[in-house]
Amino acid sequence: MNIRPFEARVRGLALRGSHHLVDQPGQHPTAVLMHGFGGSRVETTGVFVELARRLVRSGIGVVAFDRAGHGESDGDFFDTSASGDVADTLAVLEQIAALPEVDAQNLHLVGMSLGSVISATAAARVAEQEGGGGPGIRSLTMWSTAAVFVDDIRGGSIQGRPLDSLDTLGYFDFAGMRMGPAMRDDALGFDPYASAAAYRGPALLLHGTADFVPVSYAEAYLAPDVFADRAELVVVEGADHGWAQLPQRDEVLDRTVAFVRAHAAPVAS
């Protein structure tokens, strides 16, 4: 598989990633992979790498990138916020759409955990701008949807740990990375469901019964005022948040590839 380095410039920062290329010439439908909070473009035990390989074998190109302050990208994790990530993602999507191998009207977002929330909100923002010649989002896939972060932060914690250190130390220790107050302050006014409602395309949500995020946070995207019957939720028995076991991992990969393929337009000539 041919993998080319990808780099987008956003706010003076270099956001680095990988462009997994289809062998055949021409512009191809392209999936954009969005990792979780504190993660990177390869995701848990490389699950996004395996997803990219399967998609490319199906004729779908893939761009996976590290958001600001994550992985190999510029920026400081301390400054991360959901709204900031959405704004950056919109700028990155414009740059992906301009790549010569990419069919700009045939993009597919796949998000993991917080990345799924960012993807859904970005897809809605793109939909609000339709007619402006920008990227075209044809499908949205959401793994382990972590919309719970808003309720957690409003309740003063993340994954069961109190956020008191933001006031005493100036940061919160998230897996050995310093999270600053921007994430907390932004979450207080962030509505993951209202911010996604303008997306009118098909959506697939995949959630495990062993996920620490309750499945109700994925179910809420199926509400009549959000995605309604444009979305399908598949609950996978025994799957954890990171899809780090078999055969559950194969199921999330197989379903994702099939869904993207089903909504990908023919290759542009």
With tokens 């510029």, the residue in question is 74
pTM above 0.85, yes or no: yes
E-assigned strands of the chain? 2-10, 13-21, 28-34, 61-65, 102-112, 137-143, 157-158, 161-162, 172-174, 177-179, 203-208, 231-236
Distance CA 201, CA 259 (A): 12
Inter-helix orientation angle 114-128/82-97, to 10°? 60
pLDDT of 268 over the 60 cut: no
Rg (CA), the chain: 17
- Separation CA 79–CA 266 (nearest Å): 40
- Which residues sit opposite 64 in a β-bridge? 18, 33
Percentage of the chain lying above the pLDDT 70 cut: 96
| Contact assessment for residue 79 and residue 7, using Cβ atoms and an 8 Å cutoff | no
Residue 251 DSSP code? H
> Rounded to an integer, what distance in angstroms lies between the CA atom of residue 78 and that of residue 38?
11
pLDDT tens for each residue of 146-163? 999 999 999 999 989 999
For residue range 107-130, list pLDDT tens digits in order.
Answer: 999 999 999 999 999 999 999 986
Domain spans, the chain? 2-263
Task: Please report which confidence band the pLDDT of residue 193 belongs to, taking 50, 70 and 90 as the band edges.
Answer: very high
* Least confident segment among 23-27, 64-68, 76-80, 219-223: 23-27
DSSP designation for 16: E
Architecture per CATH, 2-263 = 3-Layer(aba) Sandwich (3.40)
Given a contact cutoff of 8 angstroms between Cβ atoms, the answer to whether 75 and 88 are in contact is no
Calpha distance 246→25 (Å, rounded): 35
